[in-house]
Amino acid sequence: MTTAARNDNFVVFDHVQKSYDGVSLVVKDLNLNIAKGEFLTMLGPSGSGKTTCLMMLAGFETATHGEIRLDGRNINLVPPHKRGIGMVFQNYALFPHMTVGENLAFPLEVRGMGKSEREAKIKRALDMVQMGSFINRRPAQLSGGQQQRIALARALVFDPALVLMDEPLGALDKQLREHMQFEIKHLHETLGITVVYVTHDQGEALTMSDRVAVFNDGKIQQLAPPADLYERPDNSFVAQFIGENNKLPGIIEELSGDKALVRLATGELIDATPVNVTQKGQKTLVSIRPERVEFKPEMMPAGAHTIDATVLEVIYMGDILRVVLRVAGSDDFVMKMRNTLGQTKLSPGQHINVGWHPQDARALDPM
């Protein structure tokens, strides 16, 4: 990432639009630059347009409008087999009638590579995913995790600069998935390849990516590093889609610089940081992460507004205690308490006051 200017634009979506039926747009005016060596994740619910973007990049779908550039070259009209992009599919798509070795040899054979060179590359790729001894097996004889590794090796064996992954871990169980996340991340770092990763699993997106593009409704809602995404969501959709989130609807009472005072429907006033609200009287949705909610006055900044809350339920979860509260008339306000020695015990029916740092409460669009 030293020669920043060129490498920052390794993959470029330039005003890309896509429609399947000529009536509605699946992808609406997409602009996205991906740097060389970056691990970028496209995250979003199904139907948000993220997979379509990936398919356009791979060449299986054509953009209705706009331009996609790879390393400075417009690839709109380049057929998929000439793009030199590695791809890992959701269901692995290992050729069932070929052995592992034949699967890996396939991309090398179609490139006209000699036998000895092929064998060396296959061995290297298999070793990379610790599957060297499975070369003569058929895909059907492998477990899901093993198939996933082979699919990965096959996408990498011909040394593509860009690798696309379409929900590659979706079919694995939780433990294996976490392990594979680590391995993919590790491969990405050692090989220095660029990865575009599509998933609807926010945990996966947060742990693996350099940057995450959150898709909804055919648009990128926010493009940011994981920490920014979690802590500073740009809008209600992102706030809600990423992590757990308390929502308090209200109206802007006061607005001054980076501080806002919001009056809730039930009349209480709370502090918030204005994000995409611009004027007094505007409707807003205040978003607060459960772990940032405080009920001890000493933990809150001086002069912070507090609000009455009734404890409805305390759920013991091991490392944390999850407290469900009735706040401003709604029954689903959640507060997370660290399970530390000497932590205050709360019990259902108890009345407390809750509050927070103003920068933890973000006044967003009302959706």
Partner 1 sequence: MTDISSSLTTADGRPLKAALAAAQARARRKAFLLVAPLLLFVVVTFILPIGQMLQRSVYHDGFSKAAPNLSQWFSANPEGTVPDEAAYAALVADLVQMKKDKTVGEAGTRINYTLPGTRSLFTSAARKSESLQPPYKEAMIALDAEWGKAELWGAMRSSASPWTSDFYLIATDRKRDSDGSVVMVPENQRIYIWLFAKTFILSGVITFVCLLLAFPIAHLLATLPMSKSNLLMILVLLPFWTSLLVRTTSWIVLLQGQGVVNNVLVSLGLIGDDGRIAMIYNQTGTIIVMTHILLPFMVLPLYSVMRTIKPSYARAARSLGATSWTTFRRIYLPQTLPGMGAGALLVFILAVGYYITPALVGGADGQLISNLIQFHMSKSNWSLAAALSGMLLVGVLLLYWLYDRLVGIDKLKLG
Residues that bind partner 1 (CB under 8 A): 58-60, 79-87, 89-91, 93-97, 106-107, 110-111, 154-155, 158, 164
Rounded Cα–Cα distance for residues 222 and 208 (Å): 17
Report the residue number, 58 or 352, with the smaller CB distance to partner 1.
58
Query: Within the chain, what is the greatest distance between any pair of CA atoms?
Result: 77
What's the closest the beta carbon of residue 98 comes to partner 1, in angstroms?
8
Report the residue number, 110 or 315, with the smaller CB distance to partner 1.
110
Report the residue number, 83 or 149, with the smaller CB distance to partner 1.
83
Per-residue H/E/C for 40-80: EEEECCCCCCHHHHHHHHHCCCCCCEEEEEECCEECCCCCH
What's the closest the beta carbon of residue 155 comes to partner 1, in angstroms?
8
What's the closest the beta carbon of residue 170 comes to partner 1, in angstroms?
13
Angle at 349 between CA 348 and CA 350, to 5 degrees: 95
Sheet holding 330-338, edge to edge: 330-338, 320-327, 307-316, 351-354
Report the residue number, 97 or 345, with the smaller CB distance to partner 1.
97
Report the residue number, 107 or 233, with the smaller CB distance to partner 1.
107
Rounded Cα–Cα distance for residues 61 and 54 (Å): 9
Q: Is 33 exposed, middle or buried (0-12, 13-18, 19+ CB in 10 A)?
A: middle
What's the closest the beta carbon of residue 205 comes to partner 1, in angstroms?
22
What's the closest the beta carbon of residue 57 comes to partner 1, in angstroms?
11
Query: Token match 């507060």: residue?
Result: 335
